[in-house]
Structure formats: C-alpha cells, structure tokens
Amino acid sequence: MVIPMDGAWQCSVCGFHYKDNLDSHTSGKEWAEKCESWCKEHHSCNLEITEHAEESVRGLSSA
Ligand SMILES: [Zn+2]
C-alpha cells in the first residue's frame, strides 16, 4: 500500500515520494503505485518511475 503523505504519496518499499504534478496526466498516487509494484517485483528502482519522485525532481538522489 502506498502511504499518503501531506500532498504526496510514498512508496512503502523505497520510500520515494510522488506529488501530483499538473504537467502530468499521471497522478502522484499512480506513480507511487507503479513504483511500489516495480520495487516489490524487482527489488530495485526503475529510473523512468523514480525520475518523477520528489527526491529526483529536487536532485537529492544524485549523490
Ligand atoms: Zn519504490
């Protein structure tokens, strides 16, 4: 289950947060659910999904 945060949704596996983005047709909740199902199945992150995460948008994961 994705975890509802304040204005965002968190993947319970990798902990990334997804906010609703007005530029995207896919809601933050949908991204979080995609992320979570990928994370559970592959035990890794999919860059095409995580690039939509708040952590990626802000550049926090580039370290
Ligand atoms: Zn995830």
Ligand 1 centroid – CA 35 distance (Å): 4
What is the predicted pLDDT for the residue at 60?
Answer: 58
Q: Please state, in angstroms and as integers, the Cα–Cα distance from residue 12 to each residue in 2, 4, 16, 23, 29, following that order.
A: 6, 10, 8, 24, 12
What is the C-alpha to C-alpha distance for residues 20 and 27, in angstroms, rounded to an integer? 5
**Residue 56 Cα to ligand 1 middle (Å):** 12
Helix, strand or coil, per DSSP, at residue 19 = strand
17-43 per-position pLDDT tens digit: 999 877 778 999 999 999 999 999 999
Q: How far is the CA of 41 from the centre of ligand 1 (A)?
A: 10
Q: Is the predicted pLDDT of residue 61 greater than 70, yes or no?
A: no
Distance 40 CA to ligand 1 centre (A): 8
